[in-house]
Amino acid sequence: MRMTEGVEWGLHCCLVLAWLDDLAPLPVGRLAEVFDLPPEYLKKQLQPLAKAGILRSEAGARGGYRLGRAPEAISLMDVVTAIEGGTDPFQCTEIRRRGAGRTGAPEEFAHPCGISMAMRKAELAWQRQLANQTLADVIATTPATAERRTRRFVERIA
Amino acid sequence: MRMTEGVEWGLHCCLVLAWLDDLAPLPVGRLAEVFDLPPEYLKKQLQPLAKAGILRSEAGARGGYRLGRAPEAISLMDVVTAIEGGTDPFQCTEIRRRGAGRTGAPEEFAHPCGISMAMRKAELAWQRQLANQTLADVIATTPATAERRTRRFVERIA
């Protein structure tokens, strides 16, 4: 069970767009160069972020992406949900109702399956931590040298 | 990002084997009937649980599976890890070192990537909840009627 690489790419692009908001919009090609990623594939990974309002896409010759809202208002959960489509990896298909369960009285299934509830409880703890950490929190843990270096790189290739 | 259906199957089979420990070992075919699952495919899903010591496989004409240890000593994490091979869905490939990162000083990468740390922090919360919930906890939330019904079903098909 793995997230797509798009989650790592998307989070790092959000970070760069937060750092370099004064240089935005940045074309996908330039973001791809910052991390040496395939531009066409990166474009596909960023599209759902734009659709979710996390990025704003600007058309035209000098177009590209900028952050759609403040880093404080972008949680890790927002990015993961936009790219992965959800964070509920456990699949409950209600197998308790199959086979031996066919003869179970309806009352027996009135409450959600105990296994499913326990798995969801764990997923909720994960989701809560993803929702509680914002892009601004990540920026606070990132060395200032990384920002300065990225800025110089982007200005040079502009 | 989805877990395989094997996790649901494995957890439910552990629950049945805990309930019916006095009838164990139960052949895979009988466990498959309890949930109307394809026996050959169920067998493949249970093998990693036996390898991890969560189930014990007994050979012979009256062989099959029984729990490998007490329900209190089997966490959800144990089952998920055995079947999924891990619970760290976020993949950090260190893209911060690529492209613009190539010219970064080694000190800049002395600490783990802030994005990766934030994602791991969230995964840890999930893993902690999976590790803190045992099969015994799940049994405590399951209606006694489900156990009795499953027992009757298994005794009938024996």
- Residue B128 is predicted with a pLDDT of 97
Where is A146: in which H helix or E strand? helix A144-157
What are B108-145's pLDDT values in tens digits?
898 899 999 999 999 999 999 999 999 999 999 998 99
Please give the Cα distance from B75 to B77 (Å, whole number).
5
Q: Considering the domain delimited by B5-157, tell me its CATH architecture.
A: Orthogonal Bundle (1.10)
- Binary contact (B146, A108; C-beta < 8 A): yes
ipTM for the whole complex: 0.94
What are A91-120's pLDDT values in tens digits?
999 999 999 999 888 888 988 999 999 999
Q: Are B115 and A12 in contact (CB under 8 A)?
A: yes
pTM score: 0.91
Measured between beta carbons, the chain A residues lying within 8 angstroms of B87 are 1
- Residue B92 is predicted with a pLDDT of 94
CB pairs under 8 A between A and B: 190
What are A23-79's pLDDT values in tens digits?
999 999 999 999 999 999 999 999 999 999 999 999 988 899 999 999 999 999 999
- Residue A87 is predicted with a pLDDT of 78
- Residue B42 is predicted with a pLDDT of 96
Q: Which of B1, B12, B153 sits opposite A3 (nearest CB)?
A: B1
Average pLDDT over residues A121-147: 95
Please give the Cα distance from A68 to A49 (Å, whole number).
9
Q: Is the pLDDT of residue B146 over 90?
A: yes
Q: Distance from CA of residue B146 to its chain's centroid?
A: 21
Residue A85 backbone class (left: φ over 0; alpha: ψ -120 to 50; beta: rest): left
Q: Which of A36, A114, A124 sits opposite B138 (nearest CB)?
A: A114
- Binary contact (B133, A122; C-beta < 8 A): yes
Question: Would you say the C-alpha torsion B54, B136, A89, B94 has a positive or negative sign?
Answer: negative
- Binary contact (A100, B8; C-beta < 8 A): no
Q: How many CA atoms does the CB half-sphere of B69 hold within 13 Å? A: 14
DSSP string, A46-100: HHHHHHTTSEEEE-STT-EEEESS-GGG-BHHHHHHHHHS---------GGGSGG
Measured between beta carbons, the chain B residues lying within 8 angstroms of A1 are 1-4, 84, 86-87, 89
- Residue A140 is predicted with a pLDDT of 95
Q: What is the mean pLDDT of chain A?
A: 94
Q: Are A65 and A24 in contact (CB under 8 A)?
A: yes
Least confident of B15-19, B51-55, B61-65, B71-75: B61-65
Q: Which of A95, A101, A143 sits opposite B108 (nearest CB)?
A: A143
Domain ranges of chain A: 5-157
Please give the Cα distance from A66 to A58 (Å, whole number).
8
Q: Is the pLDDT of residue B158 over 80?
A: no
What are B56-87's pLDDT values in tens digits?
999 988 899 999 999 999 999 999 999 998 87
